[in-house]
């Protein structure tokens, strides 16, 4: 199912970025968003049927050194909340995101 929504950053989830498109299945998540004018892409896979995912993200395409671990809470209507912990192996930066996604009805 195709979803859209918001990605929230920082400790108080006070910065948001529009999620252009997300696909959430029990096997994988693909997510595209725009942040400061740059398109980011995330791909992650699940080995437990859709609760936890592990993958990579990056500018335009996933980078091997940029890692994300996701816990997904999906609703019956297709909506999903993603809690994401990320870290960049090359820079040492790390943090968390939260994504609120709803079915794209268009």
Q: For 2-103, which CATH superfamily applies?
A: Calycin beta-barrel core domain (2.40.128.20)
% residues pLDDT > 90 (the chain): 84
pLDDT at res. 75: 94
Does the pTM surpass 0.95? The reply is: no
pLDDT tier at 11, thresholds 50, 70, 90: low
Residue 76 gets the label, from left (phi > 0), alpha (psi -120 to 50) or beta, of alpha
Mean pLDDT to the nearest integer, 95-100: 93
Characterize 22-59 residue by residue with b for buried, 16 or more Cβ atoms within 10 angstroms of its Cβ, and e for exposed: bebeeeebbbbbeeeeeebbbbbebeeebeebebbbee
pLDDT at res. 38: 92
pLDDT tier at 94, thresholds 50, 70, 90: very high
Mean pLDDT to the nearest integer, 35-39: 90
Task: Report yes or no: 25 and 43 within 8 Å, Cβ to Cβ.
Answer: no
Is the pLDDT score of 14 beyond 90?
Answer: no
pLDDT tier at 16, thresholds 50, 70, 90: confident
Task: Report yes or no: 76 and 56 within 8 Å, Cβ to Cβ.
Answer: no
pLDDT at res. 106: 63
């Amino acid at each position: 199912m195709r979803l859209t929504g918001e990605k929230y950053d920082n400790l108080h989830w006070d910065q948001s970025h529009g999620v252009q498109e997300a696909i959430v299945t029990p096997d994988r998540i693909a997510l595209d968003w725009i942040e400061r004018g740059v398109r980011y892409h995330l791909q992650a896979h699940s080995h437990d049927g859709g609760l936890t995912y592990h993958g990579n993200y990056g500018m335009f395409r996933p980078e091997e050194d940029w890692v994300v671990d996701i816990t997904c809470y999906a609703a019956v209507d297709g909506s999903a909340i993603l809690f994401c912990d990320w870290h960049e192996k090359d820079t040492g930066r790390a943090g968390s995101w939260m994504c609120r996604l709803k079915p794209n009805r268009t």
